[in-house]
Amino acid sequence: MSNLRDQGAEFWAKWDRPRRVTFVIASIAVAASLPFAGNFSITNILNTPISSYQDVLVYPVGMFVLMALGLNIVVGKSGMLDLGYVAFFAIGAYSMAILGTHTHLNMWEIFPIGIALAMFAGVLLGIPTLRLRGDYLAIVTMGFGEIVRITALNTQKIGGPNGIANIPSPPSLFGLKFNISHPNSFFWVVLVLILLTIWMIRRLSIRRPGRAWEAIRQDEDAAELMGVPTLKYKIWSFVLGAGVGGAAGVVYASKAIFISPDAFTFNISVLILSCVVFGGIGNIWGVVLGGVFLAYLPERIRFISNARQLVFGIVLVLVMNFRPDGILPRKKREKALLTKDDLGGKND
Amino acid sequence: MTEKILELKNLTKNFGGVVALNDVNLHVNKQEILALIGPNGAGKTTVFNMITGVYQPTSGEIIFNNKSIVGKKRFEITKGGIARTFQNIRLWGDMTALENVLTATDVHSKSGLVGSLFGSIRSRKTEKEATVKAHEILEFIGIDEYGDRLAKNLPYGVQRRLEIARAMGTGAELLLLDEPAAGFNPAEKVELGNTIKKIRDAGYTVLLIEHDMSLIMGISDRVAVLDFGVKIADDLPSVVQNDSKVIEAYLGVPTDAS
C-alpha cells in the first residue's frame, strides 16, 4: 500500500508497447464515457444529487483536474508555492467573456488568445516575484490572486460585481454541439486538454527542463551554481502553469455563459492546491485522483446539505493524517531516466 | 605549462566591519593542483564564494582565462568553466547519481524547452550524448556502479565523490573542491588523493581547500596559506611546510618570543 505508485510503475515498465497502447486507449475510452455512467443501473450510484451529473463532470471535476495539473507544474515540479493560481483561471475566463461579447471571435479563436494572455500575466508576475522564495512567494502570489479579482470587481466596464452575461457558446466542432443542453461536449474538450497537459508534463519531466525543475526544487543554490539558469526555468514553469489555468478559464466561461468575480475567490486557489497536496505533490496520477476526489465528493454528498463541509473536512484531515504524502505520492525511483539499454550498444 | 588560468588581484571582501579577505593576490596555473589552506575562519571558503559569484568582492579583480568574471551571474560563471563542490554536501538527494551529473551537463545543452516538448531530433540526440558522457564521468571517478541509486541513499564517501563528478559534469576546466576529504579515514584520503591527481592529469585544474596536511603535501603542486584574510605564504609544499609564519598561524607564537 505504501508504494502503490511504484507498483503501478513496475507494471508499466514490464509491459511491452502494444500492451501499453491498449491500456492507454482503454483508459481514455473509460474516461470519455464517464458522462454516460449516470444512465445505467449499475453505475448510476455515480449520479450526483441536486446538481446535474454531466455538469458536475465539467465543472468542478474536469476543471479541477486540469487546473491541479497546471498548478502541479509550479508547486510539484519546481517547488514554488503559488497561492494565487485562480488569477490565471480568471484571466482566461475574462478573456473569453470580454472578447466573446465584444468581438465576433468565437471560442476556438479566443482559446489561444486566452492562453497567451494568461501566460503573459505569468511572465509579468514571475519576473519580479520569482526571486522570492517559499513563504514570501506564497504571500505575493496570494496578493496577485486577490488583485485580479478585486480589479474585476471594481471595473464597471467589465460588469463590476455583476460580471458578464450572455457569453456565446462555442460553434459546433466535428459535429459536436456546444450549449447548455450539451454538457458532454465540454467534458470531452476538457478531457482532451487534460490529456495534452499530461503529455506535456511527462515529456518535459524526463528531459532537461524536468531535471532543472527537480534541481531547483531540491536545492536552488546548488542548481544555480551547477549552471542551471534557475530564474529562467522558474519563469517557464510559472508560465506553463498559467497557460493551463488560462485554458481552463476560457472553457469555463464559454460553458457557464455567465461569469462574475465571485467565481474566482481565494477559496478556489486553496482548493486547487488541496487537490495537488491531497493527491500527491509532483505525481501526475496522484494529482488527477486528488482533483477528481476533491471536486466530486462535495457534490456527491450534497444530500446531507449543511453537514457536507464538515464531512469533507474530516475526510481531508483523515487522509492527510494517514497518508501525509498524498494518496499517490511522488515516485521514489531508483532508476535512471534513460537506461543503458536505451543507449543501444553500450550494454556491457 | 605556466599559463595562468585564474588570477585574483588585490581581492578584498568586507562583511560590514569585518574584513574577511584583505588584498589577496593569488593565481592558479593551468593543470596544477593548488591547495588553499589556513586555520578556520581564514577566508578560504569566502575565496570560493567570490570566484563562483556567490559574493561580490568589495574591491579587486578576478580574472579567468584573461577575462574578468566579477559581477557575472552564478550559472554564467559555471558555464564559463568554473565549477565547485560544497563543504557540506549539497547534492540533489531525490535524484539518482546519474541524474545529478546529467543535470550538470545540461549547462552546455542546446536543447531548450520547446525542443524537449516536441522531442526534436536534436533534443533526443543531446539527451543520449549527455547520458553517455555522464556515465563516463561516473566511471572516471569510480562510482558508475552507483549510477541508478538515489543520491541521498549513497554511502558518505560516494556522495563526496559524486559532488566532484557533478562539478566535472559541467565541463568546467577549473574545479574548486571545498574539503573533499572531510570525514574520510586515512585509506579513503589516499584513494581520493589519487583520484584528484588523475583529474589533473586528465587536463583539469584543481583549486583545493583541505585541512589534511598529509593529503595536501602528497598531491599539491603549490600551497597557498591564508590567515585572517591575508595571504601569508604561496610556494611549493616543502617550502610552505617549514615557513615560520605558517607554523605561527597554525600553532601560535611561542610565549617566550615576546
pLDDT confidence tier of residue A249, bands split at 50, 70 and 90: very high
| pLDDT given for residue A17 in this prediction | 85
Is the CB of residue B153 less than 8 Å away from at least one CB of chain A?
A: yes
From first CA to last CA, the distance across chain B in angstroms is: 44
B218 and B245 fall within a common domain:
yes
The residue among B41, B53, B35, B75 whose CA lies nearest residue B170 is B75
Calculate mean pLDDT across residues A108-128.
94
> The C-alpha cell of B240 is what?
610552505
Whether B107 is in a domain gets the answer: yes
Contacts of A225 in chain B (CB under 8 A): 52, 54, 74-75, 78, 83-84
Taking a C-beta distance cutoff of 8 angstroms, is the pair A62, A117 a contact? no
Q: Where are the domains of chain A?
A: 55-265
Name the helix (H) or strand (E) containing B8: strand B4-15
CA distances from B21 to B34, B145, B177 (A): 18, 42, 19
Q: What is the pLDDT of residue A333?
A: 54
Q: Does residue B89 form part of some domain?
A: no
Which of B107, B134, B169 is where one domain is finished? B169
In this complex, the residue of B78, B99, B117 whose CB is nearest that of residue A227 is: B78
Q: What percent of chain A stands above pLDDT 90?
A: 45
- Give chain B positions within 8 Å (CB) of A202: none
Bridge partners (DSSP) listed for residue B36: B209, B224
Contact status of A222 with chain B (Cβ, < 8 Å): yes
pLDDT of A121: 95
Tell me whether residues A223 and B104 touch, CB distance under 8 A: no
Q: Which of A293-297, A310-314, B213-217 shows the lowest mean pLDDT across its residues? A: A310-314
Does B102 lie in the same domain as B74?
no
Tens of pLDDT, residues A160-170:
899 898 888 88
Query: Does a structural domain hold residue B49?
Result: yes
**C-beta atoms of A208 and B167 within 8 A:** no
> B86 in a domain, yes or no?
no
The confidence score (pLDDT) of residue A344 equals 46
pLDDT digits (tens, 9 = 90+) for A197-206: 999 999 898 8
pLDDT for B65 equals 93
Contact B123 A332 (CB under 8 A): no
Q: How many contacts, defined by CB atoms under 8 Å, are there between A and B? A: 116
Please name every residue paired with B223 in a beta bridge, in sequence order, or none if there are none: B35, B235
CB B193 within 8 A of CB B219: yes
Please tell me whether residues B234 and B256 are part of one structural domain: yes
Q: Quick one: cell of A317?
A: 484531515
| B 86-125 residues with CB < 8 A to A | 86, 90-96, 98-99, 102-104, 106-107, 109, 111-113, 116-119, 123
B152 vs A: CB within 8 A? no
Average pLDDT of adjacent 10-residue blocks, chain B of 258 residues: 87 91 93 92 92 94 94 94 94 93 89 78 84 94 92 93 95 94 92 94 94 90 93 91 86 66
pLDDT given for residue A57 in this prediction: 86
State the ipTM, two decimals.
Answer: 0.89
What local confidence, expressed as pLDDT, does residue A171 receive? 81
What pLDDT sits at residue B77? 95
User: Residue A305 has what pLDDT?
Assistant: 66
Residues in chain A within 8 Å Cβ distance of B109: 208
pLDDT on residue A3: 62
**Residue B65 and residue B11 in one domain:** yes
Contact state of B128 with A336 under an 8 Å Cβ cutoff: no
As a whole number of angstroms, the distance between CA B52 and CA B131 comes to 26
Which of these three, B154, B169, B184, is where a domain ends? B169
Number of structural domains chain B divides into: 2
| pLDDT the model gives residue A347 | 35
Is the domain of B103 the same as that of B224? no
Does A136 score more than 60 pLDDT? yes
pTM for the model: 0.88
Could you report the per-residue pLDDT of A260-287, keeping only the tens digit for each?
A: 999 999 989 999 998 998 888 888 998 9
In whole angstroms, what is the distance from residue B124 CA to residue A255 CA?
A: 40
**Better-scored residue on pLDDT, B139 or A319:** B139
The band of A332, judged by pLDDT with boundaries at 50, 70 and 90, is: low
pLDDT at residue B155 in the model: 93
Which residues in chain A (163-202) have CB-CB distances under 8 A to chain B?
200
| Separation of alpha carbons A329 and A331, rounded Å | 6
Contact call for A211 and B167, based on CB within 8 A: no
Same domain for B143 and B210? no
Residues of B in contact with A332 (CB under 8 A): 94, 150
* Residue A168 identity: P
Q: Identify whether residues B208 and B98 lie together within a single domain.
A: no
Alpha helix segments (H runs only) across chain B: 44-51, 74-80, 97-105, 113-118, 121-141, 156-169, 186-201, 213-219, 237-241, 244-251
Q: Is B96 close to A222, i.e. CB distance below 8 A? A: no
Distance, in Å, from the CA atom of B6 to the CA atom of B25, rounded to the nearest integer, reads 11
* pLDDT value, residue A331: 65
pLDDT tens digits for A218-247? Answer: 999 999 999 999 999 999 999 999 999 999
Supply A65's cell numbers.
483536474
| Statement to judge: residues B46 and B99 lie in one domain | no
Chain segment A181-196, per-residue pLDDT in tens: 788 889 999 999 999 9
| Angle, CA of B130, A341 and A223, to the nearest 5° | 30
Statement to judge: residues B200 and B143 lie in one domain: no
B166 touches chain A (CB under 8 A): yes
Which of B75, B90, B149 minimises the CB distance to A228?
B75
Q: What confidence score (pLDDT) does residue B256 get?
A: 64
Domain containing residue B226: 1-81+172-258
Contact A336 B148 (CB under 8 A): yes
Question: Do B188 and B163 share a domain, yes or no?
Answer: no
Last residue of a domain, one of B169, B189, B221: B169
A37-71: per-residue pLDDT in tens?
877 777 777 777 777 888 888 888 999 999 999 99
| B247 and B129 within one domain | no
Inform me whether the pLDDT recorded for A334 exceeds 70.
Answer: no
